[in-house]
Amino acid sequence: MGDRRTVIPFGPQHPVLPEPIQLKLVLEDEKVVEALPQIGYIHRGLERLVKVRDFNQMVFVAERICGICSFQHAMSYCLSIERLMNIEVPERADYLRVIWSELHRVHSHLLWLGLMADAFGFEAMFMETWKIREAVVDMMEATAGSRVIISTCQVGGVRRDIAPELLQQIVKLADDVQRRVKAIEHSVLNDYTIKKRTVDKGVISKEQAWKLGAAGPVLRASGVKWDARMIGYAGYKYLNFEPVVETAGDCYARTKVRFREMFVALDLLRQAVAKIPAGEINVKVKGNPEGEAFIQVEQPRGEVTYTVKGNGTKNLEKMHVRTPTFANIPAFLTMLPGCELADVPVLALTIDPCISCTER
Amino acid sequence: MGLINNSRAKSPWVVHFDCGSCNGCDIEVLACLTPLYDIERFGILNIGNPKHADVLLVTGTVNPRNERVLRNVYEQIPEPKVVVAIGACACTGGVFADCYNVIQGVDKIIPVDVYVPGCAARPEAIIDGVVLGLQKFQEKVEKMNKKAVGN
């Protein structure tokens, strides 16, 4: 009968993908045999901008690598420059960074849960999670003046302070979000349809996840207890938390990890507000960066690493970002062979792809 | 004709194409669909198929790799159509204008009717942009009708 294989292009413009990436899916009937990713649709080449923008201006560029975890990108960049220049950031700034980071984590996970629900046609859940997310985004606007790209981080600290009344509002928000997320917990984690679509789908074993260099929730859902926040950058050294780990390594486990991580993030918010000291929020930065520095930061999607190299001028010599989705693509491509075509969108979403991070 | 034109302008279907955005504008476009902003109450529907669409929402920077895709999506939308460029990147290239792989603005590739500023553009601004686009849409419909009558 000859070749029974069909090649189906998935993307770049596809209803479940908010971003353009193309997967060439080689199918045998309904089964995926091979997946070939085609990337480059979002490549901007922003790492080269270090040649024209000075190291303070680069914060804004780093922030716009990804609009979903924007604060964490800005923070990672600032942390790496601060390590390079040996800048001691005031304690209050460390705490404020934690607060904004965790707000971003909660909004990112809610956003992901909505997109995931949308991928298997659970429209009501999409609306519900995004409704909860609006409250978090509103808090971002109240504290920073902008909804998604908040531009509050700068080298040497943060640009804005959060007033004590607003900090209390954040605690209230955390309780409110916790209550509303708890309310949908049953319909997400115990739903027959969701279980049918996710349990035993796209299994990645612990060894595979480690070997393929997976990051973040994908790694933790396979049973590896690794979260870059354990290193204790920014204010995390003052706070207690336990990384969420699951062992099954399937789509359901990844959903569970992200779901429970929201509660951890909300708890961190409460802890940070309870412990935040008074004081300065930034220090003056003198001189130009020289030498090389490396930093690991846990983003909602996993671990990001920043490597920066300065040459004593106001422009950096080199900046390199390795983002979590980039690390998760090998794991994703391992999941695909053997799955049904209809499961591809769900599998794609369980790694929480952020293509604009990956291609920069 | 009256009925068709009326329903065209009163219930525009939008298709969203992300060129090379940082996701900031994309999540705001999606936020427009969710209960707080709920553009469906205006009859605006977000769909995946460009052949069903009247309005094209473009976010992010264009580059030589995705300009072909953008043009393809644009050409698949049946006439009359309106293009709304959302966010600083789509309008001019924004903060990335100096990057080597960025074309400064969507209007270098396809005709743009409405520019929505902002980084990231707020949902209110996006809704405003689409509504402005609808006025242009109405004009285009009328122009098309005149042409049809003239023939």
- Residue B70 Cα, gap to closest chain A Cα (Å): 9
Asked if residue A187 lies in contact with residue A149, where contact means CB atoms within 8 angstroms, the answer is no
Interchain pair B23, A42: CB under 8 A: no
Domain assignment present for B110 = yes
pLDDT in tens, A259-311: 889 999 999 999 999 988 888 888 888 888 888 888 889 888 888 899 988 88
Domain assignment present for B4 = no
* DSSP result, chain B: -HHHHHHHHHS-EEEEEEEE--SHHHHHHHHTTSTTT-GGGGT-EE-S-GGG-SEEEEEE-B-TTTHHHHHHHHHHSPSS-EEEEEHHHHHH-GGGTTSTT-BS-GGGTS--SEEE--TTPPHHHHHHHHHHHHHHHHHHHHHHHHHHHH-
Q: What per-residue confidence (pLDDT) applies to A1?
A: 46
Closest to A318 (Cα-Cα) out of A26, A152, A80, A28: A80
- Residue A113 Cα, gap to closest chain B Cα (Å): 13
Token readout for A333 is 């491509």
Distance of CA A146 to the CA centre of its chain: 19
pLDDT in tens, A240-253: 888 888 888 888 89
Interchain pair A67, B120: CB under 8 A: yes
How far is residue A136's CA from residue A107's CA, in Å, rounded to a whole number? 6
Across residues A205-228, what is the average pLDDT?
87
Domain assignment present for B7 = no
Q: What per-residue confidence (pLDDT) applies to A2?
A: 53
Domain assignment present for B1 = no
- Residue A109 Cα, gap to closest chain B Cα (Å): 13
Q: Which residue has the tokens 């242009």?
A: B136
Task: Spell out the residues 6+ positions from residue A207 whose beta carbon is closer than 8 angstroms to its own.
Answer: none
Domain range for B81 is 12-150
Q: What per-residue confidence (pLDDT) applies to B150?
A: 66
B22 touches chain A (CB under 8 A): yes
- Residue A248 Cα, gap to closest chain B Cα (Å): 30
Domain spans, chain A: 43-354
Distance of CA B114 to the CA centre of its chain: 8
Please tell me which residue of chain A has the smallest CA distance to B66.
A41
B17 touches chain A (CB under 8 A): yes
Lowest-confidence segment of A178-182, A355-359, B91-95 by average pLDDT: A355-359
Domain assignment present for B3 = no
Q: What per-residue confidence (pLDDT) applies to A34?
A: 82
Domain assignment present for B5 = no
What domain count does chain B have? 1
Q: What per-residue confidence (pLDDT) applies to A199?
A: 85
pLDDT in tens, B55-94: 888 888 888 888 888 888 899 888 888 999 998 888 888 8
Of B49, B69, B102, the CB nearest to A12: B69
Q: Which residue has the tokens 């009968």?
A: A1
Written out in words, the top-level CATH class of the domain with range A43-354 is mainly alpha
| CATH code for the domain in which residue B128 is found | 3.40.50.12280
- In the DSSP assignment, the letter for residue A121 is T
Please tell me which residue of chain B has the smallest CA distance to A358.
B22
Higher-confidence position of B34 and A75: A75
pLDDT in tens, A323-345: 888 888 888 888 888 888 888 88
Domain assignment present for B26 = yes
All residue ranges of chain B with pLDDT < 50 are none
Q: Is the pLDDT of residue A132 over 80?
A: yes
> Does the structure's ipTM exceed the value 0.85?
no
